[in-house]
Amino acid sequence: MKQLATKFREQGFLSPVRVLSPDQARTLRADLEAYECDHSLRGNKRFKLHLLTRWAAQLVRHPRILEVVQAILGPDILVWSSDVNIKGPSSDSFFSWHQATMHERAIAVLIRAEGHAHKPSMMR
């Protein structure tokens, strides 16, 4: 973990960091797809999902994710938001590579919901 924290401080990001098993990744994908079918992922239906859904609440508390975040920030962690941005194949939609964080001691954990184990990135 110390090496990940050092690499993050030197580069300002970490990628890839394996945090979910293939089974966990498939479950996350299924949960996300079910949520997408039941809700329009536009406007406020795609923000702060950890307050709205059990699967997102479990994801922000995932032990491996917390382990990596704690290595960078220390033990006092607050989840400020959990956003979902979906861009399907050949879609015209666009999402920036990253969004600026509001505070110096804040990081973003990005998790790709694809059909294989996720490799999230973490950026300042």
What does the pLDDT profile of the chain (124 residues) look like in tens digits? 889 999 998 998 888 888 998 899 899 989 988 888 877 676 777 889 999 899 999 999 999 999 999 999 999 999 988 888 777 777 777 666 655 556 667 888 888 776 544 445 444 4
The reported pTM is: 0.78
Cβ partners under 8 Å of residue 118, min gap 6: 18, 19, 20, 25, 28, 111, 112
Residue extents of the structural domains in the chain: 2-84+97-123
